[in-house]
Amino acid sequence: MLNKQKTYFFISFLLSVVLLASCSNQRRVSKGKPLKNKSSGAILNKYAENYFDFEWLGLKVSADLDDGEKKTSFKANIRIRKDSIIWVSISPALGVEVARLVITPDSLKLLSKVPGDKYYYLGDFSMLTEMAQTDIDFEMVQNLLVGNAIGLEQGEDKYKSRIDDQQYMLISKYNRKLKKVVGTDEKDVEPDDSLEVDLDYKRYQRIKKRTDEEDLLVKRYWFDGIDYRLERSVFDDLYYRRSVIVEHENFKTIEGQSYPEITRLIISSLTASQTLQMEINRIKTSKEYDFPFEIPKDFERKTNI
């Protein structure tokens, strides 16, 4: 009986410690106190608890695209089988389908139903990279749609942790070549600093020729200080001198999992910028889907888009 009481006490004590630890930041924030410092490993472990997981997923999305010259609004019906296929049907406000897209880890199929521009395209994933004007793969698209982190590697040796107001921030550690290009160390970078090449053109080109793209990529992630949900990601690609920002807002819950109702993707280069904002109007995780893609006989095949 005594051993049972000790076991019960020990389990209760552990649960109390866990609960107190999870609530400590909430109490500190409510009292106007700063967040406690956390290691990058601790932040990664807490974020892993918020990873949105699924086998099948259905989304109805409203989207706005602004390329700096014109704004386009459309609706999309999206079906996903995890790590296998993403099916997208795109319609304007009136609801008549104008395009259908099927993406797998190594292929891309597009059906354009626009009057006067009816065609189909069958190709590999590289075309999606060209359309997005930035390097992209299947997993990135899948994670973007549900609010999971893109390119967030496990391992606390890869990141430095910081506190930014009421958020935790992770920044990828700089290698030697990156420090030369940026002209500073990651510990000296303020959370919202705009990272730029701090070299003259000739020196930058010399380093670029001897460097892989991944060596000049800086990744930053911001997590809510209380529940560790991912709220913002910034990718500074100093190899091509462009940046990608992903923002998540208005978190909702389905079957015990949290997802952002609004996701904003901003891609900027030295000469242009485009913004895509998506709002999830409906989400389902418990239904199996089919992925129809029939090509009408009178549609022309294109080899590029």
Nearest-angstrom CA–CA distance, 146 and 245: 16
Number of H helices, E strands in the chain: 6, 14
Average of per-residue pLDDT across 89-102? 86
Model confidence pLDDT, tens digit, residues 144-154? 999 999 988 87
- Closest to 296 (Cα-Cα) out of 122, 123, 118: 118
Distance CA 18, CA 13 (A): 9
Q: Which amino acid is at 2?
A: L
DSSP letter (8 states) at residue 24: H
Most confident of 7-11, 108-112, 257-261: 257-261
In order of 16, 41, 45, the CA distances from 153 in angstroms are: 31, 11, 12
Distance (Å, whole) CA 64 – CA 265:
11
Does residue 172 carry a pLDDT above 50?
yes
Q: Three-class SS of residue 124?
A: coil
- Phi-psi map region of 83: left, alpha, beta (phi>0 left; psi -120 to 50 alpha): left
Tokens of 217: 């990529």
Q: How does the average pLDDT of the chain come out, rounded?
A: 79
Q: Is the pLDDT of residue 110 over 70?
A: yes
pLDDT tens string 186-245? 665 666 656 665 555 666 666 666 566 566 778 899 999 989 999 999 988 777 778 888
Is the separation of the CB atoms in 260 and 50 below 8 Å?
Answer: no
Contacts of 157 (CB under 8 A, 6+ apart): 173
pLDDT of residue 267: 86
Q: Contact at 8 Å (CB) between 91 and 97?
A: yes
Q: Does residue 57 sit in helix, strand or coil? A: strand
Q: Where in the chain is the domain with CATH 2.50.20.10?
A: 56-147
The alpha carbon of residue 100 and the mean position of all alpha carbons in its chain are separated, in whole angstroms, by: 23
If one compares 228 and 28, the residue with the highest pLDDT of the two is 228
C-beta separation of 105 from 140 below 8 A: no
Query: What six digits make up the tokens of 161?
Result: 């942790």
Half-sphere exposure of 53 (CA within 13 A, CB side): 6
Instruction: Name all contacts of 258-264 with Cβ < 8 Å and 24+ positions apart.
Output: 258/50, 258/52, 258/147, 258/227, 258/229, 259/52, 259/146, 259/147, 259/283, 260/147, 263/144, 263/145, 263/147
Q: Mind listing the pLDDT tens digit for each residue in 128-138?
A: 666 655 567 88
CA distances in angstroms from 254 to 1, 14, 270, 285, 286, listed in the order given: 42, 28, 40, 8, 11
119 near 299, Cβ under 8 Å?
yes
**Helix, strand, coil share (%) of the chain residues, nearest 5:** 25, 40, 35
Supply the pLDDT for residue 31.
Answer: 45
Please provide the CATH number assigned to the domain covering 56-147: 2.50.20.10
Q: What is the helix (H) or strand (E) element at residue 295, kind and residue range?
A: none
CA dihedral 234, 23, 258, 144 (to 10 degrees): 10
